[in-house]
Amino acid sequence: MIHSRNRRLRVNESIRSLVRENVLTTDDFVMPIFVMEGENMQEPIPSMPGIFRRSIDLTVKECKELFSLGVKAVNLYMKVSENVKDNTGKEAWNKNGLMQNTIKAIKDAVPGMIVMPDVALDPYSIYGHDGIIENGKILNDATNDALARMSVSHAEAGADLVAPSDMMDGRVQVIREALEESGFADVGIVSYAAKYASSFYGPFRSALDSAPKDDMEIPKDKKTYQMDYHNSREAMNEVFKDIDEGADVIMIKPGLPYLDIVSKVREAIDLPIAVYNVSGEYAMVKAAVQNGWLDNDKTIIESLTCFKRAGADMIFTYFAKEAAMILNK
């Protein structure tokens, strides 16, 4: 006779919900948002159905709707004009730049919205790289100085946290010191501690036109600074260094193919963990849904719940708005 039967706790939804280990809520989501120049402008991103580039006024409108749905944090990315791009990234800390004006507009219209601007030079670089280039190499320390200036300008505009996604060595410490010296001790850092050189970023780079340029004199990809996807112990090294340098939140990116890294980091640290459900993951689900191969709502909620199960505290995802609508049903 069988005495131990696990199925007793699966008999119906009430019992299943009573013993459920992880529950997904709108409080878990951070919505990445693409911003463009202009007014009353909205452009679809073909590789990411349902996702748009918007001008500041429509971005503010979107943030109001997100907040009403329970999504209380946004992660900002800019698509700037080609004529402001160079090899220094100086447009990134322009006090009247697109990013700075977007942060101000969102905080004025939705004060409760947590604004996390991306900190990286690739949208502002003529080369599409996250760093300043000299003699065919990405300069680490010079890039850090630029990232620090960028972060301070974001804080001045009203950002709650800055999110350096570049993967330069030591940049968290340089940014932390710059924020402290500028009087922004309360501005947090979401550090992309374990960001892998991944094939899953393709749709994102097309959305911002920020892919590395095909030039024989510069690196053709980002493998000299983003992590090798074959490695996991290296991720722990990066995480511990960023914690020592002053990170407040640790990010793992991409998401679904790297749940082992999320789980491993969760077991090792007590800081909040973020995970990025990246553009390629979004595009794959949407393509399968459009072909009738997957159920849209069920796949979204299951995928996002997997991040919670692995140990993430917050999820950066292009599904945030749609998932909130599903959960609010």
Which residues fall in the annotated binding site?
238
d(CA 144, CA 150): 10
304 three-class SS: helix
Catalytic residue from among 222, 253, 286, 308: 253
DSSP per-residue codes, 199-216: GGGHHHHHHHT-SPP--T
- 329 annotated active-site: no
DSSP per-residue codes, 108-130: HH-TTSEEEEEE-SGGGBTT--S
Give the pairing of strands 42-44 and 52-54: antiparallel
d(CA 227, CA 196): 4
Residue 56 near residue 101 (C-beta atoms within 8 A)? yes
**Count of C-beta atoms within a 10 Å radius of residue 35:** 27
Name the helix (H) or strand (E) containing 297: helix 296-310
Catalytic residue from among 85, 107, 195, 286: 195
Output the six-digit token pair for 112. 């409760």
Which of 18, 192, 71 minimizes the C-alpha distance to 201?
Answer: 192
Output the six-digit token pair for 187. 């501005």
Query: Which residue is it, tokens 């459900």?
Result: 277
Output the six-digit token pair for 48. 């990411």
Torsion of CA 201, 206, 207, 211, to 10 degrees: 70
The annotation places the binding site for Mg(2+) at 238
- 241 annotated active-site: no
Residue 176 near residue 245 (C-beta atoms within 8 A)? yes
Sign of CA dihedral 64, 69, 73, 75: negative
**Count of C-beta atoms within a 10 Å radius of residue 226:** 20
Cis preceding linkage at 254, omega within 30:
yes
Catalytic residues: 195, 253
